[in-house]
Amino acid sequence: MTTQQQTPSIVEHAAEQLPRSRNFLLGLLETLSDDQLHVRAGGAGNHALWVMGHVAYADDLFVSLFCNEPSCLPEGHTELFINGTTPSDNPADYPDREELLKRMETARTRLIKWAQSLEGDAIWQTSPEEIAQIAPDAITAVHTLAQHDFVHGGQIATIRATLGMEPVFA
């Protein structure tokens, strides 16, 4: 087998990043108890409940925009987790952990299927206006959402440090 045959395509490479980044985030989230899911580092910023809902929202938004399809998430989800919302300190304002994990999985599975379907000129399809500033085309959108998990993983790591917890990944 030649090196070229062993080299994944740009789509395969991008799609492989999605479960990897999500597993990183999930690895951090699973170390928090239910009572810790609403803790915000320094009393400000995002907490884990908001992060969980937000990453599901972002995955869903990108696929919905590129495919011109409705959201796969329940009514009211966007209003809680869209960019710019301020997390509530009341955990009762959010779905529970299991529901948010389910939404994360549903939206990420949909995203992976879409990413794996990209071929030919679709890879370079111009992004819809709503997301073009952060992801100018389809393949960049896939990479952006993988990076998005790591950004919010950093927030979870900071929350864990605030709680006096040891690092998960050393």
pLDDT single digits (tens) 75-122: 999 999 999 999 999 999 999 999 999 999 999 999 999 999 999 999
137: tokens are 């085309």
Put residue 120 in one of left, alpha, beta given phi > 0 → left and psi -120 to 50 → alpha.
Answer: left
The CATH number linked to 72 is 1.20.120.450
Contacts 24+ apart (CB under 8 A), 32-37: 32/156, 32/159, 32/160, 34/96, 34/97, 36/159, 36/163, 37/91, 37/97
Number of structural domains found in the chain: 1
Which range marks the domain in which residue 155 is found? 18-162
Residue 76 lies inside a defined structural domain of this protein: yes
Residue 7 lies inside a defined structural domain of this protein: no
Q: Helix 10-29 crosses helix 48-67 at what angle (to 10 degrees)? A: 160
pLDDT given at position 23 = 97
pLDDT given at position 2 = 57
Residue 10 lies inside a defined structural domain of this protein: no
46: tokens are 């995002």
Residue 67 lies inside a defined structural domain of this protein: yes
For 32-60, give the DSSP string.
S-GGGTT--GGG-S--HHHHHHHHHHHHH
Residue 95 lies inside a defined structural domain of this protein: yes
Neighbours of 65 (CB within 10 A): 16
pTM of the model: 0.94
pLDDT given at position 7 = 63
Q: Helix 97-117 crosses helix 138-162 at what angle (to 10 degrees)? A: 150
The C-alpha atoms of residue 59 and residue 146 are separated, in whole angstroms, by: 10
pLDDT single digits (tens) 31-85: 999 999 999 998 899 999 999 999 999 999 999 999 999 999 999 999 999 999 9
Residue 25 lies inside a defined structural domain of this protein: yes
